[in-house]
Amino acid sequence: MRVTFTVNGREQQADDVWEGESLLYVLRERMGLPGSKNACEQGECGSCTVRLDGVPVCACLVAAGQAEGREVVTVEGLAGDGLSAVQQAFVDAGAVQCGFCTPGLLVAADDLLERCPWPMSPSDADIREGLSGNLCRCTGYEKILDAVRLAAARRGEGA
């Protein structure tokens, strides 16, 4: 079948999609967007988190056909001219080690901060709750907390 949807603001099409293919497979293998990661493909690790019409979902659990006509934002769509605030904060805080969990965490953190508009800042408990669907095996999460705090604080700069 043919699937057409908007990815990071651009309409994309994939042909010959098998009905059982996930949104994750279509993004990674058919649309050349490997940023969303394939760590468990069971909806348990969050490494493939994308936003579907604004709502964070595990792309591995969404059948590609379900995305028809909808809007998808992946990690590749977070940066503008430069890195987004949350991307830059992950780099600066040392929250990236192997980095395999990072794309999913960034999409989840971006959503978390959007739901907590400046000058409000998410509490540590809010950050933990908001990112609890994203597994990281390298960092021990401390520097991920640092990164989200940093990104939240930086939203005020220049505002």
Phi, psi angle pair for 79, to nearest 5° = -80, 145
Q: Please give the Cα distance from 99 to 121 (Å, whole number).
A: 25
Instruction: Please select the residue that binds other proteins; options are 61, 65, 128, 153, rule is CB under 8 A.
Output: 128
Residue in 44, 38, 137 with CA at minimum distance from that of residue 96: 137
Nearest CB to other proteins, comparing residues 67 and 78: 78
Q: How many residues does the chain have?
A: 159
24 close to 60: Cβ distance less than 8 angstroms: yes
Nearest CB to other proteins, comparing residues 21 and 111: 21
- Does residue 125 touch other proteins according to CB under 8 A? yes
Binding track, positions 30-59, relative to other proteins; x by CB under 8 A? --xxxxxxxxxxx-xx-x------------
- Does residue 141 touch other proteins according to CB under 8 A? yes
Instruction: Please select the residue that binds other proteins; options are 85, 143, 151, 152, rule is CB under 8 A.
Output: 143
Residue in 29, 25, 31 with CA at minimum distance from that of residue 6: 31
Cβ 107 to other proteins, closest distance in Å?
10
- Does residue 91 touch other proteins according to CB under 8 A? yes
Query: Interhelix angle for 102-114 vs 85-92, to 10°?
Result: 130
Residue in 147, 151, 121 with CA at minimum distance from that of residue 134: 147
Q: Which residues bind other proteins (CB under 8 A)?
A: 18, 20-21, 28-29, 32-42, 44-45, 47, 74-76, 78-79, 83, 87-88, 90-92, 94, 96-103, 106, 125, 127-129, 131-145
